[in-house]
Each structure stands twice: as C-alpha cells, then as structure tokens.
C-alpha cells in the first residue's frame, strides 16, 4: 500500500464547478503544501445551464461529459490530482433545481438511496483516510437538491466509515460570514461600471451566508488567487470570470472570494482557526 501524506483533506461536492467556487483557494493551498486533497463529485451536472452560445448545443449526457473535462482542467489548475465521481462516472445524474420534474428521475442523485450512496463515499474515506472532510450544510448552502443530498451522503458516510475503522477527525461546512459578503458587495457596486456584467447579485444569492459568529475557520488563499480564478474559468459552461468577480448563467456579478470560510460541526476546534487541521495532533485520526 502506498504511504499516504501526513495531512489528508476530502471535499464532497454536488456538481463540477462547485469545488472551484466554494473551495478553490483552500484546495490549491493545501495541495501546494503537500497535503493529499481528494475531491468527490456526486454528479456530472448534466442539467446545468450553459453560458457560451457556441456550447449551447450541449445537453444531457453530452454536457455531463464536457463538464467532466472542465472538472479535470479545473482541478489541474488547483494542483489537485485525486478526483473521484461518486460510485463511478454517471452513477448519479443531476437532479435539476428544486421543485422541477427532473427531481423525480429515478436515476438522479436526489432519488438515490442515502445509505447506498454513502457506502460508495465511505469506500473512498477508507482508502484515503482523511482527517478533515468539507461539505455543505443541511440546506446544501442554497437549497439545491443535489447539494442537500451531498450533505446527507457525506455526513452519513462519516458515520459508516467510523463503523468500518476510520474516524474522520473534523467535519466542516462551507460558509460565508455575512459582514464579509456585505462589504464585498458594497465594493462590487463601485466596480460594476468597469465589468462586463450589467447588474450584481445580492448577498442572498451567495450560498452558506451566516452570521459571523458561526464561522470557525478562515483559510487565506490569497497566494493562490490566480489558481482559483483559472479553475473557475475552466468551467466555461457555467462561469464567466472578470477580474475579482464572476457570474453564473444569470449574468449577475458576484465577488470572487480568495479567503474561504468554514463552520466546524464535528471534531476539536475553536473560533479563529486558520488551518483546517488545527487541533489534530500527529497520528491523530489517522
């Protein structure tokens, strides 16, 4: 068996592009520092809305395969080489936005048996033995069914893996402190005339915004800002990046954050962390 690096981080995301928007700077930082960074993506995002007109013909499985290529390019930009598709490529399909008929597709991730899907993830956990796992909160950050399901599967997989011999030391949820987001949008209003976007999004459009006291960790990825931006640009079907901002298919500008924030929900820690591995001693949770 190949010896694993001392620090191992596992991230669980719903679709290609979620990893770069939410955690691109964090992933690049830890990969550069020599940690094993493993990404598990649960679907190929086959129902995503395509931005570039020249790619508008991509739908369904063809879009999923294209987005898989984007995911590989994005993670390469982040320096991350361990990328998995939950249960194998195409095992679970995109569920579409909440309330649509797409949610009823028996092959979509929203309809997946949580224990079965969590079993696939637990297999990965047993293989790479992460001390830290990052995923969404119980609302998936903003209510998308695949994000909610990714949360359920990730949290269940942590328990299944513990029963099979590996205890994940710390579990974090992706967050954004309200004061930081509000200040970033205030700056964005001043920058908007020089951007290719006519309007900005709002604080409510940012997933995982919570009151500042909920934040337990802030990961400064400023040194890896270019890598995060490059990773986001790689997801060209979904994201348009312009300077320190970006827009999704709604063409509403949002700030691009290079400090990324987290809430610790399991494991040792306290507010003010600047390292997701803080509180895990040598050999702990290994």
Is 212 assigned a ligand-binding role in the annotation?
Answer: no
Q: Which of 61, 80, 62, 64 is nearest to 72 (CA)?
A: 80
Ramachandran quadrant class, 95 (left: phi over 0; alpha: psi -120 to 50; beta: rest): alpha
Q: Which of 109, 103, 100, 102 is nearest to 43 (CA)?
A: 109
93-132 as b/e, with b when 16 or more CB fall inside 10 Å?
bbbbebeeebbebeebbbebeeeebbbbbbbbbeebbbbb
End-to-end CA distance of the chain: 15
CB 93, CB 108: distance < 8 Å: yes
Cβ count near 186 (within 10 Å): 10
Token pair of 17, please? 């592009």
CA–CA dist 151, 147 (Å, integer): 6
Residue 130, phi then psi, degrees to nearest 5: -70, 145
Sequence-separated (6 or more) residues with CB below 8 Å from residue 116: none
- The CA–CA distances, whole Å, from 157 to 58, 84, 117, 270 equal 33, 15, 8, 24
Sequence-separated (6 or more) residues with CB below 8 Å from residue 169: 131, 132, 267, 268, 280, 284, 285
Is 15 assigned a ligand-binding role in the annotation?
Answer: yes
Residue ranges of the binding site for Zn(2+): 15, 18, 147
Residue ranges of the binding site: 15, 18, 147
């Amino acid at each position: 068996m190949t010896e694993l690096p001392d620090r191992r981080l596992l991230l669980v995301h719903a679709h290609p592009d979620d990893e770069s928007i939410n955690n691109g700077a964090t992933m690049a930082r830890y990969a550069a520092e020599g940690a094993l960074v493993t990404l598990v993506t649960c679907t190929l995002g086959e129902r995503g809305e395509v931005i570039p007109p020249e790619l508008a013909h991509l739908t369904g499985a063809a879009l999923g395969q294209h987005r898989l290529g984007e995911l590989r390019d994005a993670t390469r930009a982040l320096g991350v080489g361990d990328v998995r598709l939950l249960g194998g490529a195409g095992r679970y399909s995109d569920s579409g936005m909440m309330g649509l008929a797409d949610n009823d597709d028996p092959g979509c991730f929203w309809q997946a048996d949580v224990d079965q899907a969590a079993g696939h993830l637990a297999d990965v956990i047993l293989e790479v033995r992460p001390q830290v796992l990052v995923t969404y909160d119980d609302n998936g950050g903003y209510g998308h069914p695949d994000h909610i399901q990714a949360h359920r599967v990730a949290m269940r997989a942590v328990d299944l893996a513990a029963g099979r011999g590996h205890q994940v030391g710390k579990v974090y949820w992706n967050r954004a402190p309200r004061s930081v987001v509000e200040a970033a949008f205030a700056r964005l209003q001043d920058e908007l005339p020089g951007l290719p976007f006519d309007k900005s999004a709002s604080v409510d459009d940012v997933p995982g915004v919570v009151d500042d006291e909920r934040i337990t960790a802030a990961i400064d990825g400023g040194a890896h800002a270019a890598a995060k931006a490059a990773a986001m640009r790689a997801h060209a079907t979904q994201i348009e990046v312009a300077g320190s901002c970006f827009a999704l298919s709604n063409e509403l500008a949002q700030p691009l954050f290079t400090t990324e924030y987290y809430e610790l929900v399991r494991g040792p820690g306290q507010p003010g962390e600047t390292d997701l591995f803080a509180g895990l001693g040598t050999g702990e949770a290994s």
